[in-house]
Amino acid sequence: MKWQVIKFDGKASGDIELDDAVFNVEAKKESLAEVVRWQLARRQAGTHAVKCRGDINRTKKKLYRQKGTGGARHGARTANIFVGGGVVFGPTPRCHCFKVNKKVRKLALKTLLSIKMKENNIVICEDFDLKEAKVKSLLSSLDKLKLSSALFVDSSLECENLKKACSNLHNVSLLPAIGFNVYDGLRYEKIVFTRKAVINIQERLMGKAS
């Protein structure tokens, strides 16, 4: 299919041919949920830990004799029933990652792009030509493009002015084409690509990238 390409000031700049196998596939929303869970799991540090009985710095000597005291029978003070004792079945450092097949990850990206395309939430620019690295200039461009929440995707993050301006706004973000992902794509209403970024993503999802 053909899609209009515009300049960063909102003026028309020709068309681009989009592959239906990437931007017009049957939506598989379950793949979106699986990949988002996979991404968030990979972000977890997994460094949570507690002290078990063997880690408590206390004497291991038995408190008092087993019988004849009239009290409960106890061993060391490191037992979990005492204040300052060890924790039973507490969290230990581990990796939260799980496997998601590459085919599923590609399908999720295609589903995201197809849904955004049907909702008319994809914008393709010739380039991100922001003259000044200022929020005021970026807000002016966003107003011309009629964008309020947008994820900008560039081919190689060469647009330093846009990168600096985006860092001061919560409703916009900038990613390289190689880093385009499902989670960030769902966080923003619109996805704004450069022409080169669209070509790179299409080649990656169709297995043509070198």
Model pLDDT for residues 85-128, shown as the tens digit of each residue: 999 999 999 999 999 999 999 999 999 999 999 999 999 998 88
pLDDT tens digits for 153-180? 998 777 888 888 888 889 999 999 999 9
pLDDT of 8:
83
The pLDDT-based confidence of 210 (bands split at 50, 70, 90) is very low
pLDDT average, residue stretch 58-84: 92
Distance between CA 210 and CA 19 in Å, rounded?
18
Q: What share of the chain is helix, strand, coil (3-state, %, to 5)?
A: 35, 15, 50
Query: Which token pair is 75?
Result: 């061993």
Report the percentage of the chain scoring pLDDT > 70: 99
3-state DSSP call for residue 2?
strand
Backbone angles phi, psi at 109, to 5 degrees: -65, -40
Least confident of 38-47, 105-114, 134-143: 134-143
**Could you give the domains of the chain?**
2-44+98-205 (3.40.1370.10), 50-90 (no CATH)
Query: Which token pair is 123?
Result: 């914008």
Look up the pTM and report it. 0.82
Task: Judge whether 133 and 161 are in contact, CB under 8 Å.
Answer: yes
